[in-house]
């Protein structure tokens, strides 16, 4: 059978439920960027504006460093107890974190709040494992692995918009929020309260509608999902319909409600649960059409696959490339708002090509609009370009090209301050289009490589846990190192120093990406094994 033709239906409903859970985190994570510079300034940690970038980097890094310290543990735990409880714990941790952050009276509480969120959140790796178990057909991979980036883009639209619009409400909306109120005492509480409410909605959605995907846990009774089906049945059918369909299973009712009330991407799909070996899979799919992956026993005590080497050369190189990608992209995400916020230099000295120092002096509302526009563009790229690009070029070739080319973006970024004032805004948007296009294609490509090169889906939690921890460590050090270099650059007259360091890191990432070997994917190896057994 043609590998590009799907053998199973796309798990639309479960991907939708997972997307609702996922969108909470980018709203919370990205929401601080429009005001973080001004929040640090209000903490009065320093009178030197050039040092604010360092403290802002520390706030960003606190979450990712804490996430690194527990990422492998959450991945292993998800292999033992299932994906769903770990994902929901991460959402609760995010809600707690943003509430503490909103009430932060000083930098130390803000750092602690971000660290709490990172310690309780291992969702980055577990989410990839969940998608790998949901999407068992290689033909669906380009579409599946662009959905979560699309969701991240939606969150990155809403988050900065809310952060920029709701921070310091007493100054922005004095007629509604009076001085001396709690909103005056904690000027950054309101956007974080909004983020916490979104996270709670995500938790409720997950409890009621998210099905377990782990092969050893998904047959266990889930009272939350049962309650969700009961609620849907009461909301969606009249009593007469309920009587006529009394003999139907609750899953069939849920399938009917979903196909009638929640069509996604204009598709009418048959019944689908979480895997091709589900007893409730669609009757329209013959068993002969489905290539079952050979399953080897999983040692539940350790979470390791006993008969396979998990971390092959391809897996290790891909994880390293992912960590490097996370380092320089997080550096850009955290440094760019600070770059936009940096005041103009009073006496700028320009000696090209390298010696110049200046900022763009933008207010938080304008920064929020720019970051939201970035999210809108990323959304369009993920929906319209990324699936086509991955299908056209393949994930490995596409990832290699992007990794090698990234350095040019970082080399050119600081020079936007040298443009005439009338061209600076256009220059900013050109950089964002470039950055978003590359980022939108590189992360899904790497995620597909991680899944395809894994020895077995049974150890996806462990592999993605290590990958997530590697990325978290990179994302922790990236903002700190770039913040230090940016501060040094402003004082010495080389404001491009942090950007050029990122370019050097990107060059290393390109070398690693070119070293990733081409090898049969997990799906192809499984099919070959079956053919060998048949012969």
Span 499-531, pLDDT tens digits = 999 999 999 999 999 999 886 555 445 444 434
pLDDT band, very low/low/confident/very high, at 4 (cuts 50, 70, 90): low
Q: Give yes or no for a contact between 128 and 450, defined as CB atoms under 8 angstroms apart.
A: yes
Strands (E), 299-448: none
Mean pLDDT value of segment 99-107: 94
Residue 36 has pLDDT above 60, yes or no: yes
Residue 226 has pLDDT above 60, yes or no: yes
Q: SS3 letters for 485-497?
A: HHHHHHHHCECCH
Mean pLDDT value of segment 85-89: 93
Q: Give yes or no for a contact between 493 and 349, defined as CB atoms under 8 angstroms apart.
A: yes
Span 420-443, pLDDT tens digits = 988 988 999 999 999 999 999 999
Span 362-416, pLDDT tens digits = 887 888 888 888 888 888 888 889 889 998 999 999 999 999 999 999 999 999 9
The CA distance from 477 to 67, in Å, is 12
168 φ, ψ to 5°? 50, 55
Residue 289 has pLDDT above 80, yes or no: no
The better pLDDT of the pair 105, 238 is held by: 105
The CA distance from 453 to 468, in Å, is 16
DSSP 246-267: TTS-HHHHHHHHHHHH---TT-
> Do the domains 309-534 and 9-229 match in fold?
yes
Provide Rg for the chain, Cα atoms.
Answer: 24
Mean pLDDT computed over every residue of the chain: 80
pLDDT at 260: 42
pLDDT band, very low/low/confident/very high, at 6 (cuts 50, 70, 90): low
Assigned CATH topology for domain 9-229 = Growth Hormone; Chain: A; (1.20.1250)
Give Cα separations from 85 to 136, 222, 423 (angstroms). Answer: 22, 11, 50
Residue 71 has pLDDT above 80, yes or no: no
The CA distance from 189 to 26, in Å, is 17
CB atoms within 10 A of CB 263: 12
Question: Residue ranges of the domains in the chain?
Answer: 9-229, 309-534
Among candidate residues 467, 217, 223, 424, the one with its CA nearest the CA of residue 324: 467
Q: What share of the chain is helix, strand, coil (3-state, %, to 5)?
A: 70, 0, 30
Global pTM value: 0.65
Residue 193 has pLDDT above 70, yes or no: yes
Span 9-27, pLDDT tens digits = 888 888 899 988 888 888 8
pLDDT at 422: 87
The CA distance from 274 to 82, in Å, is 13
The CA distance from 321 to 267, in Å, is 36
Q: Which residues contact 268 (CB under 8 A, 6 or more apart)?
A: 259
Mean pLDDT value of segment 451-465: 76
Mean pLDDT value of segment 61-71: 82
Residue 319 has pLDDT above 90, yes or no: yes
The CA-based angle 334-336-340, given to 5 degrees, is 130
**Superfamily for domain range 309-534:** MFS general substrate transporter like domains (1.20.1250.20)
Residue 535 has pLDDT above 50, yes or no: no
pLDDT at 161: 85
């Amino acid at each position: 059978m043609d590998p590009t033709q799907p053998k199973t239906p796309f798990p639309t409903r479960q991907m939708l439920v997972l997307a609702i859970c996922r969108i909470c985190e980018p709203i919370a994570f990205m929401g601080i960027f429009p005001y973080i510079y001004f929040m640090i300034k209000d903490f009065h940690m320093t009178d030197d504006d050039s040092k604010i970038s360092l403290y802002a980097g520390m706030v960003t890094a606190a979450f990712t460093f804490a996430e690194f310290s527990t990422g492998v543990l959450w991945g292993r735990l998800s292999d033992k107890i299932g994906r769903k409880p770990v994902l929901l714990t991460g959402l609760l941790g995010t809600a707690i974190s943003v509430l503490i952050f909103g009430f932060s009276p000083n930098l130390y509480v803000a750092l602690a709040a971000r660290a709490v969120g990172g310690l309780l959140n291992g969702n980055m790796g577990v989410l990839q494992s969940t998608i790998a178990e949901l999407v068992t057909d290689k033909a669906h991979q380009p579409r599946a692995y662009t959905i979560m980036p699309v969701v991240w883009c939606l969150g990155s639209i809403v988050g900065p918009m809310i952060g920029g619009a709701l921070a310091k409400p007493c100054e922005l909306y004095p007629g509604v929020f009076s001085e001396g109120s709690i909103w005056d005492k904690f000027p950054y509480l309101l956007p974080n309260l909004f983020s916490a409410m979104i996270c709670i909605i995500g938790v409720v959605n997950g409890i009621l509608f998210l099905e377990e995907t782990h092969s050893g846990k998904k047959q266990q009774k889930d009272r939350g999902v049962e309650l969700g089906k009961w609620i849907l049945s009461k909301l969606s059918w009249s009593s007469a319909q309920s009587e006529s369909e009394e003999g139907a299973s609750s899953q069939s009712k849920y399938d009917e409600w979903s196909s009638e009330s929640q069509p996604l991407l204009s598709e009418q799909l048959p019944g689908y649960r979480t895997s091709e070996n589900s007893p409730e899979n669609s009757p329209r799919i013959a068993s002969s059409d489905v290539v079952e992956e050979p399953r080897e026993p999983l040692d539940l005590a350790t979470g390791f696959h006993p008969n396979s080497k998990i971390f092959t050369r391809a897996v290790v190189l891909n994880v390293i490339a992912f960590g490097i990608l996370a380092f320089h992209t997080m550096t850009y995400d955290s440094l760019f708002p600070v770059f936009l916020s940096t005041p103009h230099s009073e006496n700028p000295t320009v000696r090209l090509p390298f010696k110049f120092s200046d900022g763009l002096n933008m207010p938080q509302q304008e920064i929020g609009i720019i970051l939201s526009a970035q999210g809108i563009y990323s959304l369009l790229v993920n929906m319209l370009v990324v699936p086509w690009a991955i299908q056209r070029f393949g994930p490995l070739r596409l990832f290699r090209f992007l990794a090698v080319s990234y350095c040019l973006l970082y080399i050119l970024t600081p020079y936007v301050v040298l443009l005439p004032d009338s061209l600076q805004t256009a220059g900013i948007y050109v950089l964002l289009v470039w950055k978003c296009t590359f980022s939108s294609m590189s992360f899904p490509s790497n995620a597909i490589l991680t899944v395809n090169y894994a020895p077995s889906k049974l150890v996806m939690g462990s592999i993605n846990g290590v990958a997530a921890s590697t990325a978290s460590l990179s994302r922790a050090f990236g903002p700190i190192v770039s913040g230090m270099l940016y501060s040094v650059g402003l004082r010495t007259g080389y404001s491009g120093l942090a950007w050029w360091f990122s370019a050097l890191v990107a060059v290393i990432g390109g070398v690693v990406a070119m070293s990733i070997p081409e090898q049969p994917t997990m799906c192809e190896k499984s099919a070959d094994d079956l053919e060998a057994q048949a012969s």
